[in-house]
């Protein structure tokens, strides 16, 4: 499986059976200047920065416009268990704050089973998980976690400890680059790891998963 980060909470998972794109936003294009592609799209929450008067197919909640390059994709934006193109996906109701969404709204964390590995895309989650939610999520191999949003660095590290993945992929989500750098530094400190060198993408198979939790920093491949 190949995992790429396109900025914000946009992650692209390329497996043998399909390509899954999480949280694409209307203005994003790929590194070649063309649109990001995939067969399955998941939205954890509505786009916070939609283009003015954006036109096109909308997600079910009406809060996000699907990029033109993904208009033929199968779109998921709510809790439930799904099977699309032999890919199993589980959407788990979560929130963007620590008060059941009262200030920043609800969202959906998606677990994607691709190439025998379970990847959770936590969107812009703002809280730790209950035992019930952990049971709904199940075992996790790779966790994509937001950094610089509602979660403090300490809470983000606690969330990773709850999930106990083999690989952690941080997704900086703060507006200011300097703030993101500071938030990332604090998160890596909480994780007890030195900053790894960023890489363009993560290519991994089940047999290559590390024995201990390992943090991978990715370069943003999208252009806005």
| Two structure tokens written together for 138 | 């199940």
The backbone torsions φ and ψ at residue 69, rounded to the nearest 5 degrees and listed phi first, read -70, -10
Does residue 54 register a pLDDT over 80?
no
The backbone torsions φ and ψ at residue 204, rounded to the nearest 5 degrees and listed phi first, read -145, 145
pLDDT at 88: 98
Does residue 32 register a pLDDT over 70?
yes
Task: Say which residue the tokens 């996790």 belong to.
Answer: 140
Does residue 48 register a pLDDT over 70?
yes
Q: What average pLDDT does the segment 20-42 reach?
A: 90
pLDDT at 49: 79
When mean pLDDT is compared across 5-19, 59-73, 149-163, 178-192, the lowest value belongs to: 59-73
CA proximity to 170, closest of 138, 202, 128? 202
Contacting residues for 55 by C-beta, under 8 A, at least 6 apart: 65
Q: What average pLDDT does the segment 193-202 reach?
A: 92
Q: Give residue 53's pLDDT band: very low, low, confident or very high (50, 70, 90).
A: low
Contact 220, 198 (CB under 8 A): no
Select the more confidently predicted residue: 117 or 27: 117
pTM of the model: 0.94
Does residue 64 register a pLDDT over 70?
yes
Whole-Å CA distances, 142 to 20, 27, 95, 176, 198 = 14, 27, 20, 26, 17
Q: Give residue 217's pLDDT band: very low, low, confident or very high (50, 70, 90).
A: very high
Q: Give residue 62's pLDDT band: very low, low, confident or very high (50, 70, 90).
A: low
Contact 172, 151 (CB under 8 A): no
Average pLDDT for the chain: 92
pLDDT digits (tens, 9 = 90+) for 75-124: 999 999 999 999 999 999 999 999 999 999 999 999 999 999 999 999 99
Arch. (CATH architecture) of 2-215:
4-Layer Sandwich (3.60)
Q: What average pLDDT does the segment 59-83 reach?
A: 88
């Amino acid at each position: 499986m190949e995992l790429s980060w396109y900025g914000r909470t946009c992650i692209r998972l390329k497996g043998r059976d399909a390509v899954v794109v999480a949280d694409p936003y209307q203005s994003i294009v790929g590194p070649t200047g063309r649109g990001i592609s995939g067969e399955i799209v998941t939205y954890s929450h509505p786009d916070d920065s939609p283009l003015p008067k954006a036109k096109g197919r909308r997600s079910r909640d009406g809060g996000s416009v699907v990029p033109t390059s993904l208009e033929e994709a199968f779109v998921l934006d709510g809790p439930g268990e799904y099977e699309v193109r032999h890919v199993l996906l589980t959407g788990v109701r979560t929130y963007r704050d620590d008060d059941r969404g009262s200030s920043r709204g609800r969202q959906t964390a998606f677990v994607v089973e691709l190439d025998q590995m379970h990847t959770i895309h936590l969107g812009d989650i703002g809280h730790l998980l209950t035992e019930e939610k952990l049971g709904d999520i199940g075992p996790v191999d790779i966790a994509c976690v937001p950094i610089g949003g509602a979660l403090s660095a300490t809470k983000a590290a606690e969330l990773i400890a709850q999930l106990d993945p083999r690989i952690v992929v941080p997704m900086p989500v703060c507006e200011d680059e300097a703030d993101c750098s500071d938030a990332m530094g604090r998160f890596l400190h909480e994780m007890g790891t030195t900053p790894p060198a960023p890489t363009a993408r993560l290519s991994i198979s089940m047999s290559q998963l590390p024995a201990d939790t390992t943090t991978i920093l990715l370069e943003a491949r999208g252009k806005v």
